[in-house]
Amino acid sequence: MDALASLQFSFAPALAWALLHAVWQVALIGVAAAFALRAMARASAASRHFVGMGFLIAMLVVPALRFALVLQDPSSLHTGSWSPINGPTFADAGAFVRQTSPLAPWIVVPWLCGVGVMLVRHVVGFRALSAMERAPHAGLPLQWQARVDALRGAMRITRAVAVHVTDAVVTPCAARWLRPIVFVPAGLLARAPADQLEALLAHELAHIARKDWLWNGAQCVVETVLFFHPAVWWLGKRIRQEREHACDDLAVGAGGDPIALAEALASLAAQPRVVVSPTLAANGGSLMSRISRLLSVPPTRARRGALVALGALSLGGLLLAVQLGLAGGHMPDLEVRASTDGPLRAGDYRQISADGVDKRRFYRISLDARGRATEVYEENGSARPIDAPTRKWIDGVTRQWTAHVAGLAEMPTPDFERATHLQELLTQVVMQEVVVARVGSPAIPSGTPVNGNVHLDGALGDADIEVEVQGPKGSAKFGVVADRKANVWTLREVVAR
């Protein structure tokens, strides 16, 4: 299958199904994370950060596993109106039909747009970081460089750490992993008391010692993919807070003064909060919470309504996704219609109709009584020869059709004999005076599913159904009650609904 067809008819439905389920899966993981972090109130900030990152990564892994499962095994898609690909159904004309649902594009297209916006945001941040690295800078004075080296040893940082004193930043921050850099504002070096400057440098070195650049990168990936979910942003904010707390603890443990660090943070609170997204800044997280914690002042308790709000937002997102999926729309779709759900034999046919993102395609293959194949292929309504790329597309769609049907083999298989008898009944219905008077002549079944019950027992049977009929005057639904004796249907009642 070519790239566009694969994206539209394989990748997109699997992704839509994974994203739809991610709404409730991520919400449950978020609630579990909230209770776990609450239970760890007396644990270290580093431990809470580690557990929080575990829950955050799980938010991405669980939907990713579902996506991989559906992509590799299309039969794992559930059938029904909420499914991005409908299961094989039996049409009134005696054909197995499988087609895409509007649910997939309504979910995937906005998601791709959102991911694109997040990626642009990160690209802008990395470009700003590169500009900071290229900006004019100076090194630390020798006495300060010696103190940085001592702090590195205390924190067991084996890699060399470059320190740039520059006017390109307004607050100390750290970046990179393999070649870490600490940026120090030139003005801060001149005006900050020595103990406060040392505390801030220790905090930035703590980010490097804890490899927070990698943790932050993983967090950005999850937030980019699951940008739409409030649980991700809530947990991400909590993780950043715990990350800063852990670095404060490490900085104090390396010989820093907690009061000096608190005073330094208080002075940073008055500075403009301009931080490049990939960097780890000294004024990250809630400064007041960090100051209170360093001074051993009990922080303000979070409102208990946060979990309720999280659940409400998640439920609202689920309902919105379902509503968009059921609303329909003229988006790319695919329909496969065949006279059999297995290999084609003499007298069988299979046709593919695809309103793709690149073109409208129609393909039909039919076998005559001797098994000789006749193929028709059209693009945008015009006949076209079947070249190698087209053959690849046809074979790809056919393989997907076969995989879906094979995976759903345990489902009840439509009975062709039953459908033939139903077609005989519908033929009588469309000829009734009440039907012709309502929709005009010729009247034909509209092709929508027939609702109701049909019971057959050999030559006997009965039916109580509702069928939609269309004609020159429009369409209408009719209730039909009929009996079958000696293989002949007798209409007892045909009433317009």
Of 38-47, 77-86, 360-369, 452-461, highest mean pLDDT: 38-47
Of 157-171, 194-208, 217-231, 353-367, highest mean pLDDT: 217-231
Higher pLDDT, residue 41 or 335? 41
pLDDT for 309 equals 53
> How would you label 50-88 residue by residue, b for 16+ Cβ within 10 Å and e otherwise?
bbbbebbebbbebbeebbeebbeebeebeeeeebbbbbb
DSSP assignment of 144-194 equals HHHHHHHHHHHTT--S--EEEEESS-SS-EEE-SSS-EEEEEHHHHHHS-H
For the cut 90, the answer to whether the pLDDT of residue 193 exceeds it is no
Burial class of residue 409, CB neighbours in 10 A (0-12, 13-18, 19+)? exposed
Residue 354 pLDDT grade (very low, low, confident, very high; cuts 50, 70, 90): confident
For the cut 60, the answer to whether the pLDDT of residue 330 exceeds it is no
Residues 204-259 pLDDT 10s = 899 999 999 899 999 999 999 999 999 999 999 999 999 988 988 888 888 767 78
In angstroms, the CA 163 to CA 148 distance is 9
Mean pLDDT of the region 170-193: 85
pLDDT for 310 equals 54
Q: Which helix (H) or strand (E) holds 104?
A: helix 103-134
pLDDT for 81 equals 39
Mean pLDDT of the region 90-104: 51
Residues 466-497 pLDDT 10s = 888 888 888 888 999 999 888 888 898 999 88
What are the structural domain ranges in the chain? 3-101+328-407, 112-300, 416-496
In angstroms, the CA 386 to CA 363 distance is 10
Higher pLDDT, residue 419 or 134? 134
Residue 263 pLDDT grade (very low, low, confident, very high; cuts 50, 70, 90): confident
For the cut 70, the answer to whether the pLDDT of residue 314 exceeds it is no
The contacts of residue 352 (CB under 8 Å, 6+ apart) are 334, 335, 336, 337, 361, 362, 363, 364, 394, 397, 398
Phi/psi-derived region of residue 300, left when phi > 0, alpha when psi is between -120 and 50, beta in every other case: beta
For the cut 60, the answer to whether the pLDDT of residue 386 exceeds it is yes
Higher pLDDT, residue 148 or 341? 148
pLDDT for 88 equals 40
pLDDT for 329 equals 39
pLDDT for 355 equals 72
Higher pLDDT, residue 248 or 102? 248
For the cut 60, the answer to whether the pLDDT of residue 98 exceeds it is no
In angstroms, the CA 157 to CA 136 distance is 26
pLDDT for 197 equals 84
Of 83-87, 272-276, 432-436, highest mean pLDDT: 432-436
Residue 398 pLDDT grade (very low, low, confident, very high; cuts 50, 70, 90): confident
Phi, psi of 473 (to 5 degrees): -90, 0
Residue 356 pLDDT grade (very low, low, confident, very high; cuts 50, 70, 90): low
Residues 399-447 pLDDT 10s = 766 665 555 444 444 444 556 677 778 888 888 888 888 888 777 777 6
The chain-wide mean pLDDT, for the chain, equals 77
pLDDT for 94 equals 43
Q: Are 254 and 151 in contact (CB under 8 A)?
A: yes
For the cut 60, the answer to whether the pLDDT of residue 117 exceeds it is yes
